[in-house]
Chain A
């Protein structure tokens, strides 16, 4: 099915461990985004990539790094996980910047717990 694929769906990490969240889209979208979602809060932007070859910080980038590997793939890396990074992570993509003209297409999320 066309859309945004995120892996893994669930992950438990110990404090200090590292991991990479993978995201791939097959809609030929230019822009890709990583958001985190915490209980009772809206989605907060971690990093985004307006187009292949560019990445920029969002609202809450500390503790994360990203790589726009090619037009399809946009990965999020936690170098040294902390309990404050326990959250649900969503990757999204859009044909146009800011999702204009149809919004974002979201993946199904990665539920990350850091103990």
Chain B
């Protein structure tokens, strides 16, 4: 069956380092992907999205990379800050699907 998953449940990085959060998906029909950030006690917040006709998309301090060959998605955060500490989810969808499917999340801990 289809699934969206993450390789690491918890990622600990030093402040100022770059962070990479990974996500695997299994449905080759998936054509739209989103990364969300969820801080404690809050709802998920949209970070960045990417369509399957792209390999890379950049935002402010964040970059999403998509490798359709191996069905892998990553979120890179440059110069990680304490405010980046949160749980990060990837989500995917495909044309005709009813809604987004979310992965189980990776907790990012930024050490000062």
Interface residues of A (CB under 8 A from B): 4, 33, 35, 40-45, 48, 50, 56, 58, 90, 92, 98-109
Contact = CB atoms under 8 A, between A and B. Distances in A.
Interface string B94-112: 0001111111110000000
Contacts of A45: 98-101
Given A90-B43, A90-B44, A105-B46, A58 B100 contact: no
Interface size class of B (residues with CB under 8 A): 20 to 34
A53 B11 CA distance: 43
A54 B89 CA distance: 28
Nearest to A45: B99
A40 B107 CA distance: 10
A98 B98 contact: yes
Contacts of A102: 46, 49
22 contacts: A35-B102, A40-B104, A42-B101, A42-B103, A43-B44, A45-B99, A45-B101, A48-B99, A58-B98, A90-B43, A92-B43, A98-B93, A98-B98, A98-B99, A99-B99, A100-B93, A101-B49, A102-B49, A103-B49, A108-B41, A108-B43, A109-B41
A98 B102 CA distance: 12
B67 interface: no
B92 to A, nearest CB: 10
Nearest to A56: B98
